[in-house]
Amino acid sequence: MKKEPKKIPYTVSNFKTLITENYHYIDKTKYIEELEKVKISVFLRPRRFGKSLFTETLRYYYDLRFADEFQEIFGNLYIGKNPTPKHNTYYFLSLNFSGMAVWLEGDRSFIKKQFDSNIMINLYEFLYNYKEELKLSDKYLENFNDYYNNNASGALKKITSLVHAQNGKLFITIDEYDSLTNAMAIFYQHAPENDNEYLNILKKGGFFRSFFETIKYGTATAIDNVYITGILPITIADMNSGFNIATWLTFEDRFANMLGFTEQEIKNLIDEIYNDYNLTPDKTETYNILKQYYDGYKFISGSDDYLFNPTMTLYFLNSLINNNRYPDLMTDTNTRIDYNQISYIFGNNKKMRDYTINKITENKSLKYSSRLNINFDMIDYKNGNYIPEGLFYSGILTQGEYSNELRIPNIITYEMALSYFTKINNYKVTGLDITMIGENYQDYGDVKNLIENFFQKTIKKFL
């Protein structure tokens, strides 16, 4: 009997669901053993690049509550066949800061209250999950918020001490650590320093910095490891010494392909899909389209591989297996970057802004003189000192073929860049509709003609 075809895990971020409910999975678990060699790591990548799924992978691997399910979840994967001694030995605290940006227009007390409330929910869930191991009474759990007056930093200190009292070790993940602060940096970019709530929550005594200081101090006792994801480096830079214990993995060669799909991984995935499904579109054409529109990311100059954007690729393949044709809209709207973030990166440096826009529009590439420094802050952004670097972290630019060159990774990103630049400089650009490429494909009939016509009729007229 033929096996049920595997599903495409588009929008699926629960690792256990992905593994146990017959989804395709490109095995990235070999990176877990490398991460164990690092303490307190920060890993930055653009939006929708698989950061959340990997933090969930760590949860199921390290959380002691899932020890009995280790073989079921990881048995067929690299790390299941090569487990490390630390698997399923931790009290695991998973924090997710995504979505916090909705509070940015409130005053400081409102934002702090919302931040604390959000974290307290995670902390309560943690205590509930481990109440037997930590020997907690139902009464203690019922009054947990009252004990700590809805103060996330104070509650985290207590949790750390509870774990330490049981001779346990705590593993903390923070996904999208800068979701709130990036939005606040943009909102308050023109505010005087004293009234700049972004800077206020990150300076000494600010609630955001205090929370990270609590983690920092906890590493002396029960907190054994921390894994943080985000997009930009400015939040930790603006906290100064508030969290100066982090190891930045963004440019580590060994983690170059931890997120995103390599060319070989995509070819293998396409082979599996075409074996599972009776698809009409030609397999080679499918790969070529994916490569043109979603490939091209390289985050480390010495890497041999260019990477496919995972969310965009899965969006395309999900439509393919469900409809037996390419999607009408080639751009997954969930991957688009907020225009305000791009505008913010240009800051007040109009000369560099215009130079950058012209170079990228004309050449789809840009020379840069720094080393993609991770230590730039809000003031640097406000002054437009790190425009190429900001576009790199945001995913608009990626490492080029030559040293000190950044380039547009693919057609979809080029369309995004042109749309941002149009709005920033009030260019009168009309007719750019890359998202209808699926319909154009049906008209043109083959991928070569599709690409040639698309460049001739849509892209080249803007160069």
Least confident of 12-21, 173-182, 330-339, 444-453: 444-453
> Tell me: the pLDDT tens digits for 409-441?
999 999 999 988 888 866 444 444 444 443 443
* Pairing label, strands 405-407, 365-367: antiparallel
Q: What is the mean pLDDT of residues 314-318?
A: 97
Nearest alpha-carbon partner for 266 in 185, 320, 214, 226:
320
Measure the CA–CA gap between 409 and 400, rounded to whole angstroms: 9
Which residue ranges make up each domain of the chain? 27-255, 263-323, 336-429
What are the tokens at 71? 């073989």
252, 259 contact by CB (below 8 A): no
> Tell me: the pLDDT tens digits for 107-121?
889 999 999 999 999
pLDDT value of residue 2: 63
> Tell me: the pLDDT tens digits for 349-400?
889 999 999 999 999 999 988 778 777 888 888 888 889 999 999 999 999 9
Model pTM?
0.90
Q: What is the mean pLDDT of residues 446-458?
A: 45
pLDDT value of residue 348: 85
Over the range 161-196, which residues count as b (16 or more CB within 10 Å of their CB) and which as e?
ebbbeeebbbbbbbbbbbbbbbbbbbbbbeeeeeeb
Least confident of 3-7, 77-81, 153-157: 3-7
Dihedrals phi, psi of 171, to nearest 5 degrees: -115, 125
Q: Report whether pLDDT(27) > 60.
A: yes
> Tell me: the pLDDT tens digits for 181-213?
999 999 998 888 888 999 999 999 999 999 999
Task: Indicate the pLDDT class of residue 38, thresholds 50, 70 and 90.
Answer: very high
